[in-house]
Amino acid sequence: MTASVLGRHAWGRLLRHHLARASLIFLAFMMVLSLAAPLIAELRGIDPTQTDLFRRFEPPSGRFWLGTDDLGRDLFQRLLDGGRVSMLVGISGALLSAILGALIGVTAGYLGGRLDAFLMRFTDGVISLPLLPLLIVVAAIDPRKLGVPAELAQSETFSLYRIVVIVALTGWTTVARLVRAETLSLKARDFTRAAQALGATPERIMFRHILPNATGSLIVATTISVGALILLESTLSFLGLGIQPPAASWGNMLTGAQELLQAAPMLAVWPGLLIFLTVIAFNFVGDGLQDALDPRSERR
């Protein structure tokens, strides 16, 4: 059976997973809205970064669809901007974690020996570290003291890339262990032994034969980790160590709303609800992919 046929079968099984299908629709809808946020703001004639203290806490209306926040900014547009940042951090961080974890896992599993022992003990050490305190310490480091120019260190782009790297630094361990386990199984298969007999280099065997056959598990792990990294970014932003204002993320929107729960509870409800729905949607998609890529699911 060709790869294209297998892909169509897996896609069909994924779409038969009701929660995964609903989650895919929701995530696609959110991504389209978030990416189109600048165009939507232009069509509505609204600048989501412009403050207007005379319009503070306005209720939903034809102009402000979800009302305004404590600085008179349009809440709907802020949510879209925050969604673009939060999902970009989650997806980029998950991809970076997957690449790093896959490299470490396949190297440890295939080469084995002392290198395997060292890499896995290093992975165990990272896993054993208290995650949130570690990230707080890393996020609190002033990049200007590391030689980064002050103008660059205070830019929104640098803040975004910095948080992507920070969340990826601790997100690779699960992928590394998973890929190592897959590699240990795959390197004993006949096709790997045949490649070795034909004189293929270890690098070619790892990246042309083993990793492609571990793609299914890697995709599932990466998809599930997106939700966890979005939640992690939201936590750091809520603590004031993630995406810095005036750039919006769902986490720092919650930070701004925590002192206004009595006066304007919806300022906290909307970003909190979107974080919850997005994280659980990615988890449902991961569950659906796990069933779709499992050949045994045909019998269920």
Contacts of 143 (CB under 8 A, 6+ apart): 153, 158, 162
pLDDT of residue 33: 92
Per-residue pLDDT reduced to its tens digit, 187-197: 888 888 898 88
**Domain for residue 60, yes or no?**
no
Contact 9, 2 (CB under 8 A): no
Q: Check pLDDT > 50 for residue 2.
A: no
| pTM given for the model | 0.83
The CB density around residue 226, as the number of other CB atoms within 10 Å, is: 28
**Domain for residue 75, yes or no?**
no
**Domain for residue 66, yes or no?**
no
**Domain for residue 239, yes or no?**
yes
Give the pLDDT band (50/70/90) at residue 294.
Answer: low
**Domain for residue 122, yes or no?**
yes
Give the pLDDT band (50/70/90) at residue 299.
Answer: very low
Contact 187, 214 (CB under 8 A): no
3-state SS assignment for residue 74: strand
Per-residue pLDDT reduced to its tens digit, 75-134: 999 999 989 888 888 899 899 999 999 999 999 999 988 999 999 999 998 888 887 787
> Among 102-106, 204-208, 233-237, where is mean pLDDT lowest?
233-237
Evaluated on CA atoms 19, 15, 226, 249, the torsion sign reads negative
- Distance, in Å, from the CA atom of 261 to the CA atom of 183, rounded to the nearest integer, reads 50
Give mean pLDDT, residues 58-70: 88
- Distance, in Å, from the CA atom of 85 to the CA atom of 140, rounded to the nearest integer, reads 20
Instruction: Give the largest Cα separation in the chain, rounded.
Output: 76
**Domain for residue 166, yes or no?**
yes
> Which range among 2-6, 45-49, 93-97, 146-150 has the greatest average pLDDT?
93-97
The CB density around residue 6, as the number of other CB atoms within 10 Å, is: 13
- Distance, in Å, from the CA atom of 259 to the CA atom of 268, rounded to the nearest integer, reads 10
**Domain for residue 20, yes or no?**
yes
R_g of the chain computed on alpha carbons: 22
Tokens 């970009």, residue located: 88
Can you give the residue range of the structural domain that contains 202?
9-33+90-299
**Domain for residue 172, yes or no?**
yes
Instruction: Transcribe 15-69 into DSSP letters.
Output: HTSHHHHHHHHHHHHHHHHHHTHHHHHHHHT--TT---GGGTTPPP-SSSTT-B-
User: What total of structural domains would you count in the chain?
Assistant: 1
User: Quick one: how far is CA 266 from the chain centroid?
Assistant: 25
- CB burial of 10-40 (b: ≥16 within 10 Å; e: otherwise) equals beebbeebeebeebbebbeebbeebeebeeb
DSSP designation for 68: B
- Distance, in Å, from the CA atom of 158 to the CA atom of 199, rounded to the nearest integer, reads 45
CATH number at residue 292: 1.10.3720.10
Contact 106, 211 (CB under 8 A): yes
